[in-house]
Homo-oligomer: A and B are copies of this chain.
Amino acid sequence: MPDTAVAPIDDHPSENEAGLIFQHVARQRIKLLDAFLAPHGLTSAQVYLLNRLLREDGRTQVELARLLGIGTVAVSGMVDRLEAADWVERRPDGKDRRTKRVFLKASATSKKHVLSEAAAQVNALSFETLSEPEVEQLLSLMRRVRGNLRDALAGELPTLVRD
């Protein structure tokens, strides 16, 4: 077995909890989703993109970037890999020769059920011990934090204390 995994994350109620817990949760969710998807030859990020296309096929790469909250460079690489594995294909736009639209191929649409179910399972396990109102509250607070961060990244950064 791999000797790289190092076991439980520290649980001390130390002040750095606030600093790392967001990253821990995000990474653990990715890990769990990857475990579900590995048998199907997919990764978590790829499934987020495919699920997006299942809802509205034929998006441009810029649209996908916006919808997924990542940059166009990341989309470009992911579509490369998805195309190489025959999950999607790029097609020219017709009206604008710069843009390429991404379409699902049959291999992807036939796995529709797996894709949405995997994401749902991760949510179910994440929120297992939370009540319905608690989940709502958590998501509501997270949306507000995301808004704060968006504002902070959009504006001028306050200067740090002098070195």
Answer yes or no: A46 CB below 8 A from chain B CBs. no
- What residues of chain B lie closer than 8 Å to A110, measured between beta carbons? 163
Residues of chain A having any CB pair with chain B under 8 Å? 4-10, 16-32, 35-36, 40, 48, 51-52, 62, 65-73, 110-111, 113-114, 117-119, 121-123, 125-130, 134-135, 137-139, 141-153, 157-158, 160-161, 163
Contact B28 A25 (CB under 8 A): no
Contact A158 B121 (CB under 8 A): yes
Given contacts A121-B160, A157-B36, contact A134 B139 (CB under 8 A): no
Contact B71 A6 (CB under 8 A): yes
Residue of B at shortest CB range from A134?
Answer: B141
- What residues of chain B lie closer than 8 Å to A52, measured between beta carbons? 16
- What residues of chain B lie closer than 8 Å to A149, measured between beta carbons? 25, 28-29, 32, 125-126
Counted per complex, copies of this chain come to 2
Of the residues B65, B137, B158, B161, contact of A141 by C-beta under 8 Å? B137
Contact A113 B31 (CB under 8 A): no
Given contacts A21-B146, A73-B4, A117-B160, contact A138 B139 (CB under 8 A): no
